[in-house]
Amino acid sequence: MIAFPLGATTTPAELARDPHPRLAELRAHEPVSWLPALNGWLVTRRDLALDVMRDAETFTVDDPRFTTAQVVGPSMLSLDGAEHTRHREPFAAPFRPREVREGFAEFIEEETDRLLTALEPQGAAELRGDFAGPLAVAVVTKALGLVDADTGTVLSWYDAIVRAVSDLTAGHAADPAGPEAYARLRAAVEATVTGGAAASPLTTTEGATASPLTTTEGATASPLTTTEGAAASLLTSAAERLTLPEVASNAAVLMFGGIETTEAMITNALLHLLRHPGQLALVRADSALLDGAIEESLRLEPGAAVVDRYATRDTTLGRAAIRKGDLVIVSLAGANRDPAVFPDPDRFDVRRDNSRLHLAFAHGPHYCLAAHLARLETRIALRQLLDRLPDLRLDPDRPTAPQGLVFRKPPALHVRWG
């Protein structure tokens, strides 16, 4: 007899394409289930997900199998305990709510305006590649404040590093462009901290310069090479408490999170609103509901669908006997639709009163450092999109849906207006 029959028949393709029906079955019948296809346990119930993310002593990220660390080295993402705190605290101050508003709001408004001014006359666009992606890259570039690194350069580094991490996750050798890109990022961090000149931008990998995020010409021409103010102090102040390699590894993690998940956050929220005209009408009639729409979108389709942990000892989670060394995968997407917490969990409701109980930014010591910045960026982006593009609607000839096993967003979001 198979102990976890639902888990035994769950495939990565199913979870990447449309995971929610299967996650609902697992949550109801096997809330901690062994998935042979992933060689790990999948946790889908919200209370159990919280148990895992809160208990870093039993469920850690600090494991040699953690693929991001294999490419960029140890960082706040791949450490726990005192070492995690030591890596995270030097970066925390600029991402507090007040500092985020004062340090980034005006820039996000200006960058959003620049991108939309270029798009407005066209009447149609692919908003993931022409808007959400370029905006996310520009904000990360400003946040890091790297010398001699404009948005196109930062994007090329990001693309190459992500491909290397993805290769390792799939069990393949890492694309050598990833370590090369990380070496360039590390050199730029050192130059920013010491006031020297950074290495030349990475332009040797064709795929890195052909990302769909560079389809808007202005997106790669933003003059973001200054190291003045909060952006420069982020790295220089961190270097007072961390070694330069440690500053670089954490800068890579911030770059990854700031681009990948924020681009998804903007794109998914817009898709939810445009798919539900009644909810969009409520937001247009009452702008105060925009925050509710963002939180509800994060609940229904978090940009990061899962987070990985590794058991440090034999333990029991729910009715599952987990052995030391086992991979434990927390399904944020599954936990966010737990009907014990969210009634009618598959419904998009901008007035839902507890949507902020979602776990899209994870929980516990690894709660997303830049959650306030991501929310601000998404709020400004959506407000300007809805205000400036009349009759904004999905292109009926080019339907789309979120995809991805780990990171979920539409591969493209084609819209029309006017």
pLDDT tens digits, residue range 336-381?
999 999 999 999 999 999 999 999 999 999 999 999 999 999 999 9
Round to whole Å and give the CA distance between 199 and 133: 25
Q: Work out the mean pLDDT of the chain and round it to a whole number.
A: 91
The predicted-structure confidence for 61-82, as pLDDT tens digits, reads as follows: 999 999 999 999 999 999 999 9
Work out the end-to-end distance of the chain between its first and last CA atoms, rounded to an integer number of angstroms: 60
38, 329 Cβ separation under 8 angstroms: yes
Whether 93 shows a pLDDT value over 60: the answer reads yes
Mean per-residue pLDDT for 388-398?
A: 97
The predicted-structure confidence for 138-181, as pLDDT tens digits, reads as follows: 999 999 988 888 899 999 999 999 889 888 887 889 999 999 99
Q: How many CB atoms lie within 10 A of CB 197?
A: 11
Query: What CATH number has the domain bearing residue 35?
Result: 1.10.630.10
232 or 211, which is more confident: 232
The pTM for the full model equals 0.90
The predicted-structure confidence for 14-25, as pLDDT tens digits, reads as follows: 999 999 999 999
Q: Give residue 67's region: left, alpha or beta (phi > 0; psi -120 to 50).
A: alpha
Amino acid (1-letter code) at residue 382 = L
The pLDDT of residue 239 is 94
The pLDDT of residue 5 is 97
The pLDDT of residue 197 is 55
Mean per-residue pLDDT for 327-344?
A: 98
Mean per-residue pLDDT for 112-131?
A: 98
The parent domain of residue 207 ranges over 5-416
Whether 211 shows a pLDDT value over 70: the answer reads no
Tell me the three state secondary structure of residue 253.
Answer: helix
Round to whole Å and give the CA distance between 377 and 361: 15
- Total number of domains in the chain: 1
- CA distances to 130, 155, 302 from 412, rounded to whole Å, are 10, 18, 17
The predicted-structure confidence for 283-312, as pLDDT tens digits, reads as follows: 999 999 999 999 999 999 999 999 999 999
The pLDDT of residue 202 is 34
Helix or strand holding residue 393 (H, E):
strand 393-394
* DSSP result, 309-367: EEESS-EEETTEEEPTT-EEEEEHHHHTT-TTTSSSTTS--TT-TTGGG--TT--GGGS
